[in-house]
Amino acid sequence: MIKTRVQELLHIRMPIIQGGLAYLARASLAAQVSIAGALGQITATTLDTQEDLRREIRQLREITDKPFGVNFAMGHRPIDDLLEVALEERVPAISLTGGNPKPYAPRIVNQGIPLIVLTAGVRAAKNAEQLGASIVVAVGVEGGGHLGRDDTSTMVLTRRVVQSVQIPVVASGGIADGQGLVAALALGAEGIEMGTRFVATVECPAHPSYKERLVGTQENETRIIEKSIGLPGRVLPSPYVDTILAHEPASSLEELLPYISGDKNQRAALEGLWDQGFAWGGQATGLIEDIPSVQELMNRIEKQAEETFRRLNISWLDS
């Protein structure tokens, strides 16, 4: 039986974390992920007010008493007010992405809340460890949403980060099934984080057309926007995305903002208005063939992992 430090630290049955999902990772999704035995997360930074976050946290706690996380993306907006709520509510875990966690890490760590830091390189991973993070997530370039600037693949990054820190590493980017989970464990990771796969589930509040596009899009069709302004992010293809790319290279965030604002993200992701907005999606889209419930997905991943372990548990070469 697999029991990694990630499972122990987060008190979860399966070593799986649902990634922060801008506008989508609400209590309704996170609760189901946690009930299914993984770590569900509420994304704080796309909620407007402290009250909104408090309500989401309490709503989740009404549905389940299983552990969950609250995710903060740094750099989009100040997060102090929202972080204060998460600390007051003494949430079971907090994850930080999109910048140096230094200004926030001490407050989280001093309260004894496990801090999960998303990184895309060895230096950032070591920094997170020094700041007292409990877990570091290595996010490879295959992933959906915002990425690191170094274009390092999950396969190489996971190994490099595992070699570089003592704290447990979670592999992320391009993982959507039990085979991917076993591969990550083989690389020395102690768990996986998935974003794109969780969008195409029944409980995710994404627009139905978003989920259908994830089923229909192949791994070689995703696009990267915002690279010219140093904020690369992987999206599903669409004519709207071609329009964004037609404005790149851009010289500043301000120049691109009319096309890439959170509002434009919501248009496609929540309202299905694909001619007016864009939606994040990773290469794992090529591995998505259906829209199961979260529980079905978790059962399937468990079974796939078990079958994969069994398949591999043979002498792999004739002596």
Ligand X SMILES: Cc1cc2nc3c(=O)[nH]c(=O)nc-3n(C[C@H](O)[C@H](O)[C@H](O)COP(=O)(O)O)c2cc1C
**d(C-alpha 45, C-alpha 36), whole Å:** 24
**Which residue is it, tokens 């796309």?**
46
Cis peptide before 249 (omega within 30 of 0): yes
The kind and range of the H/E element at 40 are strand 40-43
Beta-strand runs (E) in 74-201: 93-97, 115-119, 135-139, 145-146, 169-172, 192-194
Q: Which is nearer to ligand X, 73 or 184 (CB)?
A: 73
Report the relative pairing of strands 145-146 and 233-235 from DSSP bridges: antiparallel
Rama region for 47: left / alpha / beta (φ>0; ψ in -120 to 50; rest): beta
For residue 173, the minimal CB distance to ligand X (Å) is: 4
What is the smallest separation between the CB atom of 319 and ligand X, expressed in angstroms?
38
Nearer to ligand X, 173 or 311 (CB): 173
What's the closest the beta carbon of residue 8 comes to ligand X, in angstroms? 22
Q: Of 72 and 259, which has the nearer Cβ to ligand X? A: 72
**Minimum CB distance to ligand X smaller for 1 or for 150:** 150
Least CB distance to ligand X at residue 197 (A): 6
In the complex, minimum distance from the CB of residue 277 to ligand X, in angstroms, rounded to a whole number: 12
Residue listed under structure tokens 């994304």: 43
As measured in angstroms, the least distance from the Cβ of 211 to ligand X is 11
Structure tokens given for 217: 């899009």
Position of minimal CB gap to ligand X:
195
Kindly state the DSSP code that residue 152 receives in the 8-state scheme: -
Query: What number of other Cβ atoms are within 10 A of residue 223's Cβ?
Result: 17
Give the Cβ contact number of residue 205 at 10 Å.
15
Query: Rounded to the nearest whole angstrom, what is the least distance from the CB of residue 183 to ligand X in the complex?
Result: 13
Length of the chain: 319
For ligand X, the closer of residues 251 and 261 by Cβ is 261
Contact (CB, 8 A) for 27 and 57: yes
Q: What is the DSSP letter of 192?
A: E
Which one, 235 or 249, has the nearer CB to ligand X? 235
CA-nearest of 288, 304, 68, 70 to 197 is 288
Which chain residues interact with ligand X by CB under 6 A?
Answer: 19-22, 24, 43, 71, 73, 97, 118, 139, 142-145, 172-175, 193-197, 199, 280-282, 284
Q: Which is nearer to ligand X, 168 or 173 (CB)?
A: 173
